[in-house]
Chain A
Amino acid sequence: MKSLAELEAIKNKIKNQVEIRRDSEDSIRIVVGMATCGIAAGARPVLSALVEEVGKRNLANVSVAQTGCIGMCRLEPIVEVYEAGKERVTYVKMDEEKARKVIADHIVNGNIVTEFTIGVADK
C-alpha cells in the first residue's frame, strides 16, 4: 500500500544523499520525442523505462527529458543522447526493451548500440 508516510521517507532519504551536480562535465542528457507522433508510436513506455533504469542504477549524472516532434515521425519513438564533448547519438524505432539496452550498453558502459541508431536502423 502506497502511503504518504512512505513518500515522506523517500523525501528524507533523498535529502540526505550527497548532491551531485547534474551539469558537471560528465553529464548526459537523454531526450525522448513526445509529440503526437511519438506518443502514438509508443514513446511513453520508452520514457518510463529510461527513467526507471536511471533510478535503479543511480545514474546521478543522467537527466531524461521530453521534446517535441523532431521531424522524422515515421522513425518514432526517437531517443537522443547528448554527452558533453561527444557527437549526439540518435536512436530510432525505440521500444522499452531497446531503451533498457541503451542504458546498460551505452550510458553505463560507453558502447553505442549502433544497430538502433538512425544510420543503421533506417536501412
Chain B
Amino acid sequence: MLELSLHVLDIVNNSVKAKAERIEIVIDEQIEKNILSVTIRDNGCGMDEEFLKSVTDPFKTTRTTRKVGMGISLFKAASEATGGNFSISSQKNIGTEVVATFTYDHIDRQPMGDMAETMQTLVSSNENIDFIYKHIRNEKEFLFDTAQIKEILGDVSLNNPEILVWIREFIEEGLQEINS
C-alpha cells in the first residue's frame, strides 16, 4: 500500500469481519527511538492456535470466494522491509492483536498517510462498532473515541455526510496539533 493508513484500513476490516464490537487503533511515533508502531486490537472472535500459526501466509484465508488473503502478509512485509517487527496474538472468542513496528527513518517506510480518511471510512460503514483511535507523536497524544461522539449524537446515525465530514476534520485538526 502507498500509505500506512491504508494498511490500517485493511487490517481493521479483518477485525470487523471477526465481529468485533470494539476496535482499538494505536499509532505511536517515537522519533528519538526511531520507531513507528501500529497496534490494532479487537474483541472479535479470535483465532485458534492452529489458524494463528499460518495466518501470515497469503494462502491462508477465511474467504470462501478466493484462495488468497493478502492483507496480513502485505502489512508484515511492509514492516519487515524497514527492519521492523510484526506479531499477531489471538485467543478464540476473546480477540486479536496485531502489532507492526517500523524503523521510523527507513527509506522504505511508507508515509503515515491520511488517517482521518481511514477513520471516516471505518466509522461510516460500521456504526455499531466502537473505535478508539489513539495517535501518539513523541510526548503528544490525540484521542478519537466514537463512544464519545455517539454520546453527543444520541439516536442520530453516525452515517450522515455532515457528521462524517465533521469527524474527518476533527481528526485532521487533532493530528495537526500533535504534529506541530
Contacts and interface: CB of A to CB of B under 8 A. Distances in A.
A11 B153 contact: yes
Interface string A55-76: 1100000001110110100000
Nearest to A71: B65
Q: What class of interface size applies to chain A in its complex with B?
A: 20 to 34
B147 interface: no
B175 to A, nearest CB: 12
A55 to B, nearest CB: 2
Interface residues of B, number: 36
A48 interface: yes
Q: Is the interface of A mostly helix, strand, loop or mixed?
A: helix
A78 interface: no
Interface in A8-35: 8, 10-11, 13-15, 34-35
Contacts of A68: 63, 65
A13 B165 CA distance: 15
Given A11-B156, A14-B156, A44-B117, A1 B173 contact: yes
A2 B1 contact: no
Contacts of A10: 160, 162-163, 166
Contacts of B161: 51-52, 54-56
Interface string B113-152: 0100110110011000000000000000000000011001
Nearest to B5: A44
A4 interface: yes
A53 B91 CA distance: 42
A55 B9 contact: no
A13 B114 CA distance: 28
A120 interface: no
A54 B10 CA distance: 24
Interface of A: 1-2, 4, 6-8, 10-11, 13-15, 34-36, 39-40, 44-45, 47-48, 51-52, 54-56, 64-66, 68-69, 71
8 contacts: A7-B163, A10-B163, A11-B153, A11-B156, A36-B10, A39-B1, A48-B120, A69-B63
Given A8-B152, A69-B65, 15 more contacts: A2-B173, A4-B148, A7-B149, A7-B166, A10-B163, A14-B156, A15-B156, A34-B121, A36-B70, A36-B74, A47-B121, A48-B117, A51-B164, A56-B161, A66-B125
